[in-house]
C-alpha cells in the first residue's frame, strides 16, 4: 500500500511540469513561505504557522533539508511571537466622555416570541460532541461489519478507525478518510473476538488528530490466548509515518499518512526510556527529544505514537 502511494506521488510530481498552471513543490513551498510572512506581519498566527508547516513539508518532498530546516525555524519563530502576544498586557482603553443622560423610553408591549428553528445550519463545521457513530453492538468474528458516522467537520483529513479498547488515542489500526463529507458509511474487515472501539478524529486544529467521538462494541466468538505484555520495547529500525500535506496532480495539497523517516530506536540518535507499567516511552535525545510516546503491543508486535515536539503533528512508528 505504501509502495503504491509512493508510486502515485512520484507520478504526480513527474507530470506536474506538463500540466497547465501546475507548479513544482519548490514553487509551492516558496508561495507558502510568502503567505506565512504576510500572515505573521498581520499577527495572524494560526495562518502563518500553517503556511510555514506546509512549506517545510513541501521542501521535505523536494529533498531540500536546508530549506526545510529554515521553514521550521520560521514556524518556531511564529510560535514564539504568538506566545509573546498572549503574555503582553492588554492596551488601555481610550478615555471616553461621560454619557449624557437620556430620557427613559416609553414602555412597549413585550414582543411575541418567535418559534425557534430546528433546522441545522448548512456547511458549518461540526462542534465537538455532535458526532454520531452507529455500529452493531455485537459483531460475529470473521465477518465484515458496517460503521456509519455523521457530524464530520467536512475537512479532507477527517477520519475514523477501529482499535481494541484501551489502545492509546495516538495509535490506530484499520482506518478510512471521510473525504470532506459530513456523513459517510464504512465497511471494516473481520476482527478477532474481543472488545473494540470506533474512534472519530478531525484533522484540525493543527493536524493534531483529536478524538471527537467514540463508541465501543463486541466481536463475539472464542478469544485467542494472549501472551504477557513484553517488559521491554524492542530496539532497532522503526518506520515512522507522518500525517501531513502532500502534493497532488493539480499542484495543490491533500492530507495523507505517508512514510516520514526510519529511526534506529535505542541508538545514540534516538535514545529512550521505557516504562512498561505505564506503557510510555520517553525520548531522551535526538530529533524527538522530550516527546512522550504511547507504546502499545498486540501480542508481541509493538507500535509507538506521539506528537512531534516542534509542531504537534501526529507520528506513528512500527518495527520494519
145 contacts 135 by C-beta, under 8 angstroms: yes
CATH topology of domain 236-319: Lipocalin (2.40.128)
Confidence of residue 96 (pLDDT cuts 50, 70, 90): low
Task: Determine the pLDDT at residue 108.
Answer: 42
* Beta carbons of 283 and 271 less than 8 angstroms apart: yes
The pLDDT of residue 160: 93
Question: Cα angle vertex 178, ends 162, 315, to 5°?
Answer: 60
pLDDT: is 261 or 133 the higher one? Answer: 133
Nearest Cα neighbor of 35 from 253, 271, 273 is: 253
> So what's the pLDDT on residue 106?
45
pLDDT band at 5 (very low <50, low <70, confident <90, very high): very low
The pLDDT value recorded for residue 86 is 59
Q: Phi-psi bin for 140: left (phi > 0), alpha (psi -120 to 50), beta? A: beta
Integer Cα distance of 115 and 95 in angstroms: 42
Lowest mean pLDDT among 14-23, 48-57, 130-139: 14-23
Calculate the dihedral angle through the C-alpha atoms of 311, 312, 314, 317, rounding to the nearest 10 degrees: 80
Instruction: Give the fold, CATH level 3, of 132-220.
Output: Immunoglobulin-like (2.60.40)
pLDDT of 190: 92
3-state secondary structure of 129: coil
Look at residues 150, 310, 141 and name the one whose alpha carbon lies nearest to residue 242: 310
Q: Please compute the mean of the pLDDT values over residues 112-141 and round it to a whole number.
A: 61
Residues facing residue 215 across a β-bridge: 198
Position with higher pLDDT, 255 vs 220: 220
Give percent of the chain with pLDDT exceeding 70: 68
Beta bridge partners of 296: 303
- Alpha-carbon span 50 to 255, nearest angstrom: 13
Amino acid at each position: 500500500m505504501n509502495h503504491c502511494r509512493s508510486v502515485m506521488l512520484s507520478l504526480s510530481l513527474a507530470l506536474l511540469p506538463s500540466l497547465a498552471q501546475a507548479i513544482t513543490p519548490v514553487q509551492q513551498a516558496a508561495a507558502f513561505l510568502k503567505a506565512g510572512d504576510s500572515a505573521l506581519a498581520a499577527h495572524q498566527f494560526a495562518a502563518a504557522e500553517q503556511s510555514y508547516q506546509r512549506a517545510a513539508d513541501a521542501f521535505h518532498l523536494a529533498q531540500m533539508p536546508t530549506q526545510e530546516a529554515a521553514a521550521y525555524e520560521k514556524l518556531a519563530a511564529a510560535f514564539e511571537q504568538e506566545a509573546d502576544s498572549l503574555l503582553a498586557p492588554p492596551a488601555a482603553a481610550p478615555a471616553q466622555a461621560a454619557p449624557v443622560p437620556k430620557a427613559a423610553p416609553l414602555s412597549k408591549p413585550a414582543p411575541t416570541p418567535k418559534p425557534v428553528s430546528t433546522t441545522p445550519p448548512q456547511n458549518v463545521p461540526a462542534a465537538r460532541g455532535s458526532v454520531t457513530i452507529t455500529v452493531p453492538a455485537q459483531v460475529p468474528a470473521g465477518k465484515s461489519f458496517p460503521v456509519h458516522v455523521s457530524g464530520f467537520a467536512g475537512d479532507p483529513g477527517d477520519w475514523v478507525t477501529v482499535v481494541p479498547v484501551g489502545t492509546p488515542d495516538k495509535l490506530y489500526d484499520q482506518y478510512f478518510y471521510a473525504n470532506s463529507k459530513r456523513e459517510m458509511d464504512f465497511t471494516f474487515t473481520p476482527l478477532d473476538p474481543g472488545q473494540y472501539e470506533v474512534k472519530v478524529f478531525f484533522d484540525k486544529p493543527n493536524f493534531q488528530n483529536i478524538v471527537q467521538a467514540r463508541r465501543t462494541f463486541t466481536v463475539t466468538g472464542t478469544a485467542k490466548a494472549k501472551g504477557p505484555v513484553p517488559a521491554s520495547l524492542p530496539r532497532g529500525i522503526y518506520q515512522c509515518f507522518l500525517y501531513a500535506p502532500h502534493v497532488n496532480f493539480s499542484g495543490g495539497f491533500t492530507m495523507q499518512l505517508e512514510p516520514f523517516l526510519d529511526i534506529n530506536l535505542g541508538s545514540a540518535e534516538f535514545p529512550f526510556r521505557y516504562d512498561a507499567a505505564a506503557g510510555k516511552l520517553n525520548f531522551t535525545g535526538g530529533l524527538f527529544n522530550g516527546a512522550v510516546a504511547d507504546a502499545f503491543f498486540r501480542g508481541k508486535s509493538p507500535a509507538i505514537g506521539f506528537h512531534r515536539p516542534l509542531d504537534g503533528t501526529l507520528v506513528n512508528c512500527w518495527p520494519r
